[in-house]
Chains A and B, each alone.
Chain A
Amino acid sequence: MSSTFLGMPATPPRSPYGTGNLRGDRKFPAAAHDELRNEQLRRNLGKATHTIRAKRLNVTGELPDWEQLRDAGSAIKTDTMNRLPELLEQLEQQVTERGGTVHWARDGVEANEIVTRLVRATGSTEVIKVKSMATQEIGLNEHLESAGITPYETDLAELIVQLAHDKPSHILVPAIHRNRDEIRQIFLKEIPGVDPRLDNVPAHLAAAARAYLREKFMTTKVAVSGANFGIAETGTLSVVESEGNGRMCLTLPDTLITVMGIEKVLPRYQDLEVFLQLLPRSSTGERMNPYTSMWTGVTPGDGPQDFHLVLLDNGRTAALADRIGREALNCIRCSACLNVCPVYERAGGHAYGSTYPGPIGAVLTPQLAGMHAAKDDPNSSLPYASSLCGACFDACPVKIDIPSLLVELRHQHTEESGTTAEKLAMKAAAGVMKRPKLFTAAQKAAELGRVLGGRDGKISHLPPPFNGWSDSRDTAAPPKQSFRSWLASDEGAATMRAAADEYDRNQQEEEK
């Protein structure tokens, strides 16, 4: 950098508004309203999340050092974030020395342009793709298509999503919202030359996709991948997957272009020891994922001879600048938090509007793309899309305290929002509660609220914003007497005296 430092550093840029897939078109409660009515989705999600949950608990419970592994994962990631700039430069140097080319992309727009330029330079009009969250995040497929390049997703679930002109709803299981009957329909409609007698047996569906993809693997000269890890020490990139499609994409084509979020770097090769245990056990509930591919630059005569690494910021430096929020960058995209989240389980991934759904998405998305208070940004609803139950924190393999991050982001949002009706109500409530006399008077007033209750003492309708509550819950009318008035009453004093006497009597009996 040649510019002169003139005082306070500016906040690093977030992912530009209106680009990529880090923002839905409406807020979470509105999107969830529709998703909750999709009974098929509710059934699919309930079944899938419960199955994965049980598998994960089995394989994490069997390891005697699981908690130590989580601590190690957390420590390595925290160390990585504390010296991210130097590690990225080391990674660039290593990749370059081993025959790769490194590109730096400030945001998704730049990354899309770089990848498109690189594909064009090969002369190919098709690319095969390994499942990648980073390229979903920046909307690479849409951009390639607009440039006349056809991307083929080769992960089975990503293929289903792509063929259905749909969006992924889960980090690891992008088509979790589809069942086998729906997948059969999608394949019959979208796969050219598919056998019209195709039934809904999973093996048959997989075979149909396999036949379709095999030809693409053999004929396409360019592949685009993401990366699970990039090792600064050696310049090694790694992708873990289950189907072998990744291995095909990473080895068969002439050109390989990898788009990696800058937070995916790890300092040492040995760090993989920790993460290759944490990731599969947390994500698919497997002891080891079927395919772990690692490559370092270019190996003459073996694999792609042209390798490009695109390092993507797209708001990550902005997240890194947040003392508390940066913890979200430690995420290794295992999706364990989604699978245990009661909100995700009911509302599904699409309700979050972002490539990153679920608890981690609710903290990562607003940090990458912002939650512009002035624009009534849908992302500003994400930190509130949680009951703060804490199941995500317990499941996270790198111990990200997601509930605390959600509370922190809520605070940032209320600070940026200026004066709102809610803030005034909160101020008023605190104003009463900080004055004990006023609080006691308010309790007396609440006791008068008994008239709101019907003959059965239940309040069944409340005005907005509490109508959503009273739609499905009765509220008991306030009691005749608060605890403090009872305690101060003769009855309260007598009851407490009687309880103490009972103890004394029991003591005397024991002594006898």
Chain B
Amino acid sequence: MRIGLFATCLGDTLFPEAVKSTAVLLARLGHEVVFPPEQTCCGQMHVNTGYQREPVPLVRNFAEQFGDPSIDAVVMPSGSCAGSVRHQHEIVAERYGDAALRAGVATVKTKTYELSEFLVDVLDVTEVGAYFPHRVTYHPTCHSLRMLRVGEKPLKLLRAVDAIDLVELPEADSCCGFGGTFAVKNAETSTAMLQDKMRNIATTEAAVCTAGDSSCLMHIGGGLSRIKSGTRTLHLAQILSSTRTSPYVLTEAVR
């Protein structure tokens, strides 16, 4: 397949390792990965903070960059950005867009996927040849879980990883407290949620807490770093792209 990789603004700028892993993983599975160079941001932060006029050009740019019919699927290492493309772009286009934008949004949303659902649903693979000899716990991010309904898909992928010690996270489906600008506007409530998430992570004694969204991992990882926890965060793609020949080397760094 010819896959359009959407790096997400956060991934592209702050968490490039997760995006590199996504690109490498898809290429290793035999697919052509294209990166439309004019891509920027899906506009999720704007919409979720209450702004729908401002992201119109971002929604338009996304539809234009990925609307190319030669791109079979648009894949991104983020459940919340995929959720935004599939559920919010049409709201913005309906309210403040024109007919062309509405048509563009409708076309591109049907071929947009979060990484784990693309692997399991579209490519029909769960065994991606990964090797990761560490104790790992998985946090299902809210938008993957409840907006995209990825369900067990990320866990199926993780269970198939060679040498992994996968442990269940207690109260896994509770929100970590990120919520985009929620973590800034309601920082204390967000922190209270984060503390409970970190307490549950600690009980797993995992070396790595993984998830499908760099944004939630930035939140959880930032908290774990502050309390000098023994657990670090790593994007799901980074585990799936780790192999016996080029294994991921765990370091102390937050990223």
B177 contact set on A, CB distance < 8 A: 342, 387
Residue among A346, A436, A476, A503 making CB contact with B189, cutoff 8 Å: A346
Q: Is the CB of A414 within 8 A of B7?
A: no
* Interface locus among A61-69, A179-187, A246-254, A493-501: A493-501
* Interface segment out of the listed A117-125, A283-291, A421-429: A421-429
Q: Is A24 an interface residue (CB 8 A)?
A: no
Q: Which residues 377-418 in A have Cβ within 8 Å of B in the complex?
A: 383-391, 393-394, 407, 410-414
Among listed A4-12, A224-232, A311-319, A480-488, interface-contacting one: A480-488
Whether B174 pairs with A342 at a CB distance below 8 angstroms is: yes
Given contacts A28-B186, A475-B222, A503-B28, A346 and B192 within 8 Å (CB-CB): yes
Q: Which of A385, A410, A443, A465 contacts B49 (CB 8 A)?
A: A410
Task: Specify the chain B residue showing the minimal Cβ separation from A393.
Answer: B146
Closest A residue to B19 by CB, please name it: A483
Q: Does A439 contact B (CB under 8 A)?
A: yes
Chain A, Cβ-Cβ closest to B193? A342
Interface string of B36-55 (1 = CB under 8 A from A): 01111101011111111011
Name the interface residues of B132-172: CB closer than 8 Å to any CB of A.
142-143, 145-147
Instruction: Say yes or no: is B203 at the interface (Cβ < 8 Å to chain A).
Output: no
Q: B125 interface residue, CB < 8 Å from A?
A: no
Q: Is B69 an interface residue (CB 8 A)?
A: no
Chain B residues with CB under 8 Å of A429's CB are 45-46, 54
* Across-interface contacts of B97 in A (CB, < 8 A): none
- Knowing A439-B40, A479-B14 are in contact, say whether A473-B51 is a contact too (CB < 8 A): no
Task: Please state if A465 and B184 are interface contacts (CB–CB under 8 Å).
Answer: yes
Chain B 1-28: CB-based contact to A (< 8 A → 1; otherwise 0): 0000001010111111101100111011
* A32 touches B (CB below 8 Å): yes
* B46: A residues at CB distance < 8 A: 426, 429-430
Given contacts A388-B182, A434-B40, whether A426 and B225 have CB atoms under 8 Å apart is no
B28 to chain A, nearest CB (A): 5
Contacting residue for B7 out of A391, A474, A484, CB 8 A: A484
- Chain A residue numbers with a CB within 8 Å of B175 are 342, 387, 389, 391
Residue in B closest to A503 when the chains form the complex, CB atoms: B30
Query: Smallest Cβ distance from B26 to chain A, in angstroms?
Result: 8
Closest to B23 in A: A496
A42 to chain B, nearest CB (A): 8
Task: State in angstroms the CA–CA spacing of A478 and B9 once bound together.
Answer: 13
Complex CA–CA separation, A29 to B182 (angstroms): 10
Say how far B255's CB is from chain A's closest CB, in angstroms. 5
Q: Is the CB of A472 within 8 A of B191?
A: yes
Chain A, 457-512, CB within 8 A of any chain B CB: 457-458, 460, 465-466, 468-469, 471-476, 478-479, 481-484, 486-487, 492, 495-496, 499-500, 502-503, 507
Of all chain B residues, the one with the shortest Cβ separation from A442 is B13
Task: Report the minimum CB–CB distance from B174 to chain A (whole Å).
Answer: 6
* Distance in Å: Cβ of B146 to nearest Cβ of chain A: 4
Check if B23 sits within 8 Å of A487, measured CB to CB.
yes
Q: Contact: B182 with A472, CB < 8 Å? A: no
Answer whether residue B126 sits at the interface, using C-beta atoms and an 8 A cutoff. Answer: no
Evaluate whether A389 and B225 lie within 8 angstroms (CB atoms) in the complex, with A436-B40, A478-B13 already known.
Answer: no
Contact B186 A469 (CB under 8 A): no
**Residue contact A394 to B146, C-beta cutoff 8 Å:** yes
Complex CA gap A407/B17 in Å reads 31
Chain B residues closer than 8 Å to A347, beta-carbon distance: 189, 192
Shortest B23–chain A CB gap in Å is 6
Is residue A157 contacting chain B, with contact meaning CB distance below 8 A? no
Evaluate whether A388 and B9 lie within 8 angstroms (CB atoms) in the complex, with A343-B186, A394-B146, A473-B226 already known: no
Query: A429 CA to B142 CA in the complex, in Å?
Result: 25
Residues of A within 8 A of B28 (CB): 499-500, 502-503
Check B185 against A29 for contact (C-beta < 8 Å): yes
Tell whether, in the assembled complex, residue B186 and residue A384 are in contact, meaning their CB atoms are under 8 Å apart: yes
Interface string of B221-239 (1 = CB under 8 A from A): 1110110000000000000
| Inter-subunit contact A472/B223 (CB<8 Å) | yes
Residues of B near A446 (CB, < 8 A) are 13-14
Give complex CA distance A426, B184 in Å: 14
The answer to whether A500 and B255 have CB atoms under 8 Å apart is no
Q: Once the chains are docked, how many angstroms separate the CA of A347 from the CA of B255? A: 31
Do B184 and A466 touch across chains, with their CB atoms under 8 A apart?
A: yes
In the assembly, what is the distance between CA of A507 and CA of B17, in Å? 27
Contact B182 A386 (CB under 8 A): yes
Is A207 part of the contact surface with B, judged by Cβ < 8 Å? Answer: no
Which one of A385, A472, A495 has the greatest number of beta carbons of chain B within 10 Å?
A472
Known A-B contacts A466-B184, A496-B23; A476 and B14 likewise in contact (beta carbons under 8 Å): yes
Q: Are B27 and A387 in contact (CB under 8 A)?
A: no
Task: Find the residue from B38, B54, B143, B178 having the highest chain A CB count within 10 A.
Answer: B54
Q: Are A384 and B14 interface neighbours, CB within 8 A?
A: no
Query: Within residues 206 to 221 of chain B, which ones have a CB less than 8 A from any CB in chain A?
Result: 218-219, 221
Instruction: Pick the most buried of B24, B88, B194: most chain A CB atoms within 10 A of its CB.
Output: B24
Q: Is the CB of B174 within 8 A of A29?
A: no
B58 within 8 A of A: yes
Quick one: which of A414, A443, A492, A502 contacts B50, CB cutoff 8 A? A414
Shortest CB distance A73–B (Å) = 20
> Does A387 lie within 8 Å of B142, measured CB to CB?
yes
CA gap between A36 and B187 in the complex, in Å = 11
Residues of B within 8 A of A427 (CB): 54
Q: Are A496 and B27 in contact (CB under 8 A)?
A: yes
Is B61 among interface residues, defined by CB-CB distance under 8 A? Answer: yes
Q: Which residue of the partner chain, among B20, B146, B147, B226, contacts A483 with CB atoms under 8 Å?
A: B20
Q: Pick the most buried of A346, A390, A500: most chain B CB atoms within 10 A of its CB.
A: A346
Please, how many angstroms separate the alpha-carbon atoms of A358 and B70 in the complex?
46
- Residues of chain B within 8 A of A343, CB atoms compared: 186, 189, 193
Q: Flag if B23 contacts A476 (CB, 8 Å).
A: no
Which residue numbers of A lie inside 8 Å of B, CB to CB?
Answer: 28-29, 32-33, 36, 42, 342-343, 346-347, 383-391, 393-394, 407, 410-414, 422-423, 426-427, 429-430, 433-434, 436, 439, 443, 446, 457-458, 460, 465-466, 468-469, 471-476, 478-479, 481-484, 486-487, 492, 495-496, 499-500, 502-503, 507
6 additional contacts (CB under 8 A) given A32-B186, A434-B57: A347-B192, A433-B40, A436-B61, A472-B187, A475-B218, A483-B19
Q: Pick the 6 closest A-B CB pairs, nearest first.
A: A468-B187, A387-B179, A410-B50, A473-B222, A390-B146, A434-B57
* A–B pairs, 22, beta carbons within 8 Å: A29-B188, A29-B189, A342-B175, A387-B177, A388-B48, A388-B182, A430-B46, A433-B58, A434-B61, A436-B37, A439-B9, A446-B14, A468-B187, A474-B222, A476-B254, A479-B15, A481-B16, A487-B23, A495-B24, A496-B27, A499-B24, A499-B27
